[in-house]
Amino acid sequence: IDGGNIDAINNIGNCYAAQKNYMDALTYFLKAFVKDSANSRAINNIGVTYMMLGDKAKGDYYLQKLKNQ
């Protein structure tokens, strides 16, 4: 996979999230975020994934970041 293809990186994360493998999903969503910190899909996915992991504070942080874009 091309490390610069943010959509592909996000999609891999989505595959892990669909399997409820949230830690691996988060790894890929954060990789996408590092490549483009303004990518709304990555920010939303990170926020939702933190919520699914039970980390409301981090989830809220990223979802608020998305809202403020």
How do residues 3-46 score in pLDDT, each as one tens digit?
679 999 999 999 999 999 999 999 999 999 999 999 999 999 99
Instruction: Give pTM, 2 decimals.
Output: 0.93
For residue 66, the one-letter residue type is L
CA 5 to chain centre: 14
pLDDT at 4: 75
d(CA 33, CA 52): 18
**DSSP H helices in the chain:** 6-18, 22-35, 40-52, 56-67
